[in-house]
C-alpha cells in the first residue's frame, strides 16, 4: 500500500472536518480521520501526516482513499466486513443439539464442549455458541428428591395453611441443628484486600460439638434458641419446657417439626398429652425445606459459623447466642407467599423416581 491520492478539500468539507476535529464529544476515530484529511490538504508527506495524527502510514493512505471515494460521510462510517468464519449449517446445529441431549459414548457420564467439538468436527467456541443460543447447559447438574410420604399432599396443605393464614396464637417452627463443630483455625484469617479474597487456613483444631434447638415465631419473626450438648428426647423435652415457659399461657401453640425420631419418642408423646394447648404439625418425609427455620439455620451457617474460629464449645455457644440476639433485634414477621396448590403442581411435574 502506498499513497496514491492527492487530497483537494472543498471549502465546505474543510469547515466540516475542522468542526469534527475540534469536537471533544466525537469518537476518537472520527477526530483522527478528520485530522488526517486536514493535514493531507496541507501537502504534507504521509510520514508527517501519520506523526501529527498519531496513526500509522497505512492508516493515512486508507482514509485518504476513503475520502476520495465517499467524501466526509465515508470517514464517519466503517465498512461492513463479512464474518471471519461462515455460520454453521442447520444440519450441524441440529447434530450438536441432538448430541447434547443424548448419552455420550464410552464410560463417561456427560458431554463436554471439547468432546462434542471433536465428535462434530467444529470448534469449541462454536459448540458453546450453539448451546448458549438454545439455552442448553450439559455441564450443569441439579439434584431433586421426590417424597414417598403417602400423606405428602395433606401435610403440605396443613403446614402451608399455617404459613399463609396463621392463627392468632403462637405458630412455631421447631428444628435442631446438631453436630455444630467448634473449630479453631491454626492461624488468624487474612482479611480481604484489593485483588485478593479473604483467606483462612485449611487446618484446624477440634474442640467438640454442640446442638442448637431453635424455634421460629411466625408472627414476630424472632428465634428462641438453646444450645445443648446432646440431641436426645430428654434435651428436646427440656427445650419444649423452655418454650412453654416463654409463651403466654392464654395462647395455643402450633409447632411445625420434621419427622425425626426424637419428636415422636414415647416420652415426647407423653409430654404432649400433658400439655393440651400444644399441637404438633409434621412436615412430609423427606421435606425439611418446608420448615422455615431451616432458612435461619442456613443464614447462621453462612454468616457466622462457616468462617468463624472458636476456642471451645463455650465460645461457639456464646457466638450463636449473640447472633440470635442480633437477629431478634431486627426481626420481621415471616411471610410465605406460595400456595400449596402451586407446590403440589410442581411436584407432580417432576420425574418419577426410578425403581
Q: Using DSSP, state whether 58 is helix, strand or coil.
A: helix
Q: Output the DSSP codes for 67-96.
A: HHHHHHHHHSSPPP---SSPPPPHHHHHHH
pLDDT tens per residue, range 229-254:
888 888 888 888 888 888 888 888 88
Band of the pLDDT at 353, cuts 50, 70, 90?
very low
**Size of the chain in residues:** 355
pLDDT tens per residue, range 25-75:
888 888 888 888 888 888 888 888 888 888 888 888 888 888 888 888 888
pLDDT tens per residue, range 293-349:
788 888 888 888 888 888 888 999 999 999 999 989 888 887 777 788 887 887 776
Strands 204-217 and 223-228: antiparallel
pLDDT tens per residue, range 214-225:
888 877 888 888
The proportion of the chain whose per-residue pLDDT surpasses 70, expressed as a percent, equals 94
Cell numbers found for residue 91? 444440519
Tell me: pLDDT of 149 over 50: yes
How far apart are alpha carbons 139 and 109 in whole angstroms?
A: 10
pLDDT tens per residue, range 170-219:
667 677 788 888 888 888 888 888 888 888 888 888 888 888 888 888 77
pLDDT of residue 355: 33
Cell numbers found for residue 32? 483522527
Contact between 155 and 149 (Cβ < 8 Å): yes
Burial environment of residue 14 by CB neighbours within 10 A (0 to 12, 13 to 18, 19 or more): middle
Cis omega (within 30 of 0) for bond into 286: yes
How far apart are alpha carbons 198 and 175 in whole angstroms?
A: 32
Cell numbers found for residue 332? 420481621
Average pLDDT, the chain: 84
Contact between 37 and 75 (Cβ < 8 Å): yes
Amino acid at each position: 500500500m502506498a499513497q496514491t491520492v492527492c487530497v483537494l478539500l472543498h471549502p465546505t468539507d474543510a469547515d466540516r472536518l475542522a468542526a469534527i476535529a475540534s469536537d471533544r464529544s466525537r469518537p476518537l476515530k472520527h477526530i483522527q480521520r478528520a485530522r488526517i484529511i486536514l493535514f493531507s490538504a496541507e501537502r504534507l508527506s504521509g510520514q508527517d501526516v501519520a506523526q501529527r495524527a498519531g496513526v500509522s502510514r497505512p492508516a493515512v493512505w486508507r482514509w485518504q482513499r476513503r475520502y476520495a471515494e465517499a467524501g466526509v460521510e465515508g470517514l464517519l462510517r466503517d465498512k461492513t466486513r463479512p464474518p471471519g468464519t461462515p455460520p454453521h449449517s442447520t444440519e450441524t446445529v441440529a447434530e450438536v443439539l441432538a448430541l447434547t441431549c443424548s448419552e455420550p459414548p464410552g464410560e463417561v457420564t456427560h458431554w463436554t464442549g471439547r468432546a462434542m467439538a471433536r465428535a462434530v468436527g467444529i470448534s469449541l467456541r462454536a459448540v458453546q455458541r450453539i448451546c448458549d443460543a438454545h439455552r442448553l447447559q450439559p455441564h450443569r447438574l441439579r439434584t431433586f428428591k421426590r417424597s414417598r410420604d403417602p400423606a405428602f399432599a395433606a401435610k403440605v396443605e396443613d403446614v402451608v395453611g399455617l404459613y399463609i393464614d396463621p392463627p392468632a396464637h403462637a405458630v412455631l417452627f421447631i428444628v435442631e441443628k446438631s453436630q455444630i463443630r467448634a473449630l479453631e483455625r491454626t492461624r488468624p484469617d487474612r482479611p480481604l484486600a484489593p485483588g485478593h479474597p479473604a483467606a483462612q487456613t485449611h487446618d484446624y483444631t477440634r474442640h467438640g460439638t454442640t446442638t442448637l434447638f431453635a424455634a421460629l415465631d411466625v408472627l414476630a419473626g424472632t428465634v428462641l434458641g438453646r444450645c445443648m450438648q446432646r440431641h436426645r428426647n430428654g434435651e428436646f423435652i427440656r427445650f419444649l419446657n423452655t418454650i412453654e415457659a416463654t409463651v403466654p399461657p392464654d395462647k395455643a401453640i402450633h409447632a411445625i417439626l420434621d419427622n425425626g425420631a426424637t419428636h415422636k419418642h414415647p416420652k415426647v408423646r407423653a409430654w404432649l398429652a400433658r400439655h393440651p394447648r400444644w399441637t404438633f404439625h409434621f412436615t412430609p418425609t423427606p421435606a425439611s425445606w418446608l420448615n422455615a427455620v431451616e432458612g435461619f439455620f442456613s443464614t447462621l451457617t453462612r454468616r457466622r459459623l462457616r468462617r468463624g474460629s472458636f476456642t471451645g464449645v463455650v465460645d461457639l455457644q456464646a457466638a450463636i447466642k449473640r447472633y440470635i440476639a442480633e437477629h431478634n433485634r431486627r426481626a420481621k414477621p415471616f411471610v410465605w407467599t406460595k400456595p400449596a396448590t402451586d407446590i403440589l403442581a410442581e411436584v407432580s411435574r417432576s420425574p418419577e423416581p426410578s425403581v
